[in-house]
Amino acid sequence: MSQPIPVDMLKQTITYFYLLAYCPPEKVAEFKQSTASMLKGLAGQARIKEKAFLAQALPEACLHIVAFHQATREPDRELVDALVKAARTADKNSETLAAFKEQMARIAALPGRAKLENRLHRKKGCAFCQWPCYYGYFSLVSEPEFNGLQRLLEAEAQQPKQEQNPIRPVLEFTLSHLAQTTQVGQGVIQRVHLGNLAYCLLMLSMAKSRLALPESELRVFQTSSQAWIQAGS
């Protein structure tokens, strides 16, 4: 594929590498199996072999990832090159995945997005997130359909007060979104990332609806989210 990568294919490639960064190192083989059809499909659309597609798409995906976290159209070339190097072998084994995850965490901590005043939905609750915008770009490029979340929230609100769980419908929506996007299930995403990603998707849904939950409710949700994360650690 000599022409520029179509936007939708680039978004799917970026989605793949973020999900890889959320995967436990010991689950890398399971992750590769669950996402094999996604990569095969992208290569098929490009009418080239999978390795050839990744050779072209990976550098472009890494450029966009670093650009987002630096909040610039001209990201640091050394950071981009370092991420490309780590990404090329990220799914080889647990050690290479751990190195890639470390590089992604380093990039997520860049002040362009990590500072509270620079976060994606800074006026919609991102200030309460436990991680410095490690999920914002994924939430955008994976293009979640939030009608399902609204239905789940409404159903939860119909439950008896003492049985309501603020995080349950958002976790259910997050898992459904992951399954629809790449066939990735709960087993190949670290619990901490699943809980925090759920919060990020809630923030994006609020931003798109132009509605904001009161700060007190956001704090309740975040407390419940972190308690759920800790329960599994």
- Burial grade of 139 (CB within 10 A; 0-12, 13-18, 19 or more): buried
Residues 225 and 128 in one domain: yes
Q: Residue 222 is which amino acid?
A: Q
Cα separation, 69 vs 76, in Å, equals: 11
pLDDT for position 86: 97
Do the beta carbons of residue 41 and residue 4 sit within 8 Å? no
pLDDT for position 34: 83
Residue 199 lies in a domain: yes
Helices 28-46 & 168-182, crossing angle to 10 degrees? 50
pLDDT for position 183: 64
pLDDT for position 1: 52
Residues 46 and 29 in one domain: yes
Do the beta carbons of residue 129 and residue 146 sit within 8 Å? no
Residues 106 and 130 in one domain: no
The domain boundary, picked from 114, 138, 160, lies at 114
Residues 79 and 124 in one domain: no
The domain boundary, picked from 71, 92, 114, lies at 114
Residues of the chain with confidence (pLDDT) below 70:
1-2, 122-124, 183-187, 210-212, 233
pLDDT for position 174: 92
Distances (CA, A) of 218 to 62, 116, 150, 215, 227: 32, 16, 16, 5, 14
Residues 51 and 110 in one domain: yes
Question: pTM of whole model > 0.85?
Answer: yes
Say how far residue 36 (Cα) sits from the centre of its chain: 18
Question: Residue 87 half-sphere exposure, CB side, CA atoms within 13 Å?
Answer: 30
Residue 2 lies in a domain: no
pLDDT for position 187: 67
Residues 22 and 32 in one domain: yes
Residues 201 and 131 in one domain: yes
pLDDT for position 66: 98
Cα separation, 18 vs 187, in Å, equals: 16
pLDDT for position 184: 62
Residue partners of 150: CB distance under 8 A and separation at least 6: 205
Residue 1 lies in a domain: no
Query: Which tokens go with 174?
Result: 């997050």
Do the beta carbons of residue 29 and residue 76 sit within 8 Å? no
Residues 129 and 192 in one domain: yes
- The residue whose two tokens read 């010991």 is 26
Domain count, the chain: 2
pLDDT in tens, 204-224: 888 887 666 778 888 888 888
Residues 196 and 123 in one domain: yes
Residue-range definition of the domain harbouring residue 167: 116-231
pLDDT for position 26: 92
Residue 56 lies in a domain: yes
pLDDT in tens, 144-189: 988 888 888 888 888 888 888 888 999 999 998 988 877 665 568 8
Q: What are φ and ψ of residue 90, in 5° steps?
A: -55, -40
Residues 137 and 104 in one domain: no
Residues 159 and 202 in one domain: yes
pLDDT for position 209: 78
Residues 74 and 27 in one domain: yes
Query: Which tokens go with 59?
Result: 């550098």
The domain boundary, picked from 114, 129, 163, lies at 114
Residue 85 lies in a domain: yes
pLDDT for position 65: 98
